[in-house]
Each structure stands twice: as C-alpha cells, then as structure tokens.
Amino acid sequence: MGASVDDKIQISALPQIDRARQVTEALAQYVERAEMKAGDRLPAERELMAALAVGRSTIREAVRHFQALGVMETRKGSGTYLLKPITSSTVHLPLSFETASLRDALMLTLEVRRGIECEANMVAARRRTEADLVNIRQRLEQMERVHIAEGTSGKQDLAFHLAIYDATHNPLFRQLLEQMRGVFERFWEKPFNRPDFARRSFPYHRTLYEAIAAQDTEAARRETLKILDVVEEDIEEMSK
C-alpha cells in the first residue's frame, strides 16, 4: 500500500536552515501521522521535493540517513519503502566505523556485543514470561534442526537471539541489536568465507536457554560469554 502527500496529511515547507536534518524530522513526522506500517511505500521523490521545498539531493540525503538506520529501503524502479515504523520521538543512533581489516572490524563489534548481549540476556532471565519461554524454545529448536541438517544456521540463530531480546520487555535492546547486526551484516554473514565460523558455540545456545528458563541471571551471563568467547577464538584463528 503506497502513501502520497495529500490535503489530509501535509508536510510543512522548511526555512532555509539545516535542511537535511529538518527533512529527516519531517519525514518521521509524516510517517507517524500517516500511520504508515512496515512495507508501505513513501511518497514519490518529486512529491517530497515539492512539499518540503527542497532539492533532490536533500531528499536523498534524508532517505540515506534512514536507510543507514535500517528503517527504509529504496527498491530500484519501485520507490522507497518503510521497513520499520518510526515516529518523531524515535531515538536514532546511526552507526559507522572504518577499519583496516576484517579482523579489526569483528573485534570492535565483538566488544560492543559483549556488553549489550550479556546485559540483555540477564534482563531476559529476570523478566521472561512463560509465553516468552515458549517463543525462545521454538526458535532454539528450529535453529537446532537446521544446524544438524545443514551444519550452519545463521538466520535461525538470529531469530533465537531476537526472541531473547523480546523477552527483556525493553524494546531498546532489540532495536539496538538489530541495528548493530544490520550495519555489521557484511562482516558477520560468513566471516573469512568460512561456514564453520563459531560453530563450536552451538551447544551453548541450549544452555543459555536453560539459564533463562531457570531465571538464573548469572548463568545467562556465563553462557553468553561462552558463545562470544568461541567467536573471539575463531576470529583469532581464522584471521592468521
């Protein structure tokens, strides 16, 4: 379902100051007022240019900003689509960095993952409900089936961890970690072109689930570190 700029929902023209920043804010406000949902198409570029009284380059800069955040996607010949709902009060944290090597990139992201994922998994252990536990277990079992059949389970692994983040009942955990994974996807999809990367961490996903089921926060932290320690060891070994 596409959206258009019409008389019911207007985007106000902007004064001649900091246009790119104001365009991003105006777009977020428009998405909120139009009650757009994931999968909806934004107004055409020319409509946004006319409504906001700004040039094509400013519109494209604003769209690139939201693309970098993983909330919009431009499809060639089709238009720009909303991937996630946003509002004018949404907290946006653009992430970017440059490194000389794949090893350095992986190590930098691993340091951040240790801090956030340990805390998220401990919070999940404290707050999870029975419904959360069912969801996590289903994702784990799917991950295990695919891993046993194919030897790798990247998408299922992500679904398992996202189910845990949902069990924190703090939406910022999922948003932050999804955003991180999106930015770093090119590094983590198949590091060093090795499908066996971090395969040794597979059993610890089951023990992490068990810690969360038992509401044992320290065990959840411990099992998370075991997973990430294997990742670090493989980075060191495979980057030699």
Instruction: Note the pLDDT of residue 167.
Output: 96
Q: Residue holding tokens 């069912």?
A: 134
Q: What is the DSSP letter of 44?
A: P
Which tokens hold the place of 22?
């104001």
Domain range enclosing 214: 102-238
Number of domains in the chain: 2
Instruction: Note the pLDDT of residue 179.
Output: 66
Q: Integer distance in angstroms from the first to the last C-alpha of the chain? A: 50
Instruction: Note the pLDDT of residue 16.
Output: 47
Residue 74, strand partner residues: 80
Ramachandran class of 119: left when φ > 0, alpha when ψ lies in -120 to 50, beta otherwise: alpha
User: Do 163 and 75 fall into the same domain?
Assistant: no
Is pTM, for the whole model, over 0.85? no
User: Do 31 and 88 fall into the same domain?
Assistant: yes
Among 54, 74, 94, the domain boundary falls at 94
Among 94, 122, 138, the domain boundary falls at 94
How far is the CA of 68 from the CAs of 61, 92, 148, 200, in angstroms?
11, 10, 35, 32
Q: Which DSSP helix (H) or strand (E) runs through 81?
A: strand 79-82
Which tokens hold the place of 72?
């919009």
User: Do 88 and 106 fall into the same domain?
Assistant: no
Show pLDDT as tens, one digit a residue, over the chain (240 residues). Answer: 555 555 556 666 545 445 667 777 888 888 888 888 889 999 998 998 888 788 888 888 888 878 877 788 889 889 999 988 887 666 566 556 666 677 887 888 889 889 999 999 999 999 999 999 999 999 999 999 998 888 777 778 888 998 999 999 998 888 777 666 655 555 566 677 777 777 899 999 999 999 999 999 999 999 999 999 998 998 888 888
